């Protein structure tokens, strides 16, 4: 009986740790960016930047309903940050690779998410991958370098953005 309870407790603890893979991301560049963008856009209540085994996420919590057109400038500023050489060096190559993808140095996907009045539900997101289309793990897979972005409202298929 004791062994059965121990096994159940161990399974429960392991299931909880599997859900706790996100790590907060911080750097001088990210802190300056968050401060600048919050001062520029009063609608941003909170910004959370975090990483997980396959991705880096920017979460924008708004103090109003999200609006794709109104939020486009925030996305563009974040995209500009992601494409900067400093972001690649300090955030991806130093911080991200320190915790994830150490051996194969696989670059993470980027997710820029917007939360409106409901802080528990993503209203929509923009995503990009360092790698171009192709078979996962294929050595000949092209490098896109986060140039192609997709919009996802979670109601239909993701659509590519016009350049």
Q: What are the residue boundaries of the structural domains of the chain, listed by start?
A: 22-160
**Interval 137-145 mean pLDDT:** 77
pLDDT tens for 27-60 read: 999 999 999 999 999 999 999 999 999 999 999 9
Q: Is the per-residue pLDDT at 161 higher than 90?
A: yes
**Interval 73-96 mean pLDDT:** 97
pLDDT at 39: 96
Q: Is the per-residue pLDDT at 9 higher than 50?
A: no
pLDDT at 10: 39
Which single residue is written with the structure tokens 């794709």? 68
pLDDT at 120: 84
Mean pLDDT, rounded, of the chain:
86
Q: Is the per-residue pLDDT at 20 higher than 70?
A: no
List the structure tokens of 104.
């194969």
Cβ neighbour number for residue 142 with a 10 Å cutoff: 10
Pairing outcome for strands 55-62 and 109-115: parallel
Q: Is the per-residue pLDDT at 159 higher than 50?
A: yes
Minimum mean pLDDT range among 45-49, 79-83, 96-100, 104-108: 104-108
Q: Is the per-residue pLDDT at 96 higher than 90?
A: yes
List the structure tokens of 10.
């161990």
């Amino acid at each position: 009986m004791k062994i059965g309870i121990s096994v159940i407790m161990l399974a429960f603890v392991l299931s909880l740790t599997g859900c706790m893979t996100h790590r907060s991301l911080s750097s001088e560049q990210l802190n300056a960016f968050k401060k600048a963008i919050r001062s520029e856009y009063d609608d941003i209540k909170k910004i959370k930047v975090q990483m997980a085994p396959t991705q880096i996420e920017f979460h924008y919590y708004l103090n109003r309903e999200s609006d794709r057109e109104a939020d486009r400038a925030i996305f563009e500023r974040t995209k500009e940050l992601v494409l900067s050489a400093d972001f690649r060096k300090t955030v991806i190559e130093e911080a991200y690779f320190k915790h994830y993808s150490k051996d194969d140095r696989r670059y993470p996907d980027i997710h820029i998410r917007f939360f409106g009045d409901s802080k528990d539900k993503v209203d929509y997101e923009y995503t990009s991958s360092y790698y171009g289309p192709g078979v996962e793990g294929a050595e000949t897979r092209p490098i896109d370098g986060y140039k192609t972005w997709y919009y996802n409202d979670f109601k239909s298929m993701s659509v590519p953005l016009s350049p």
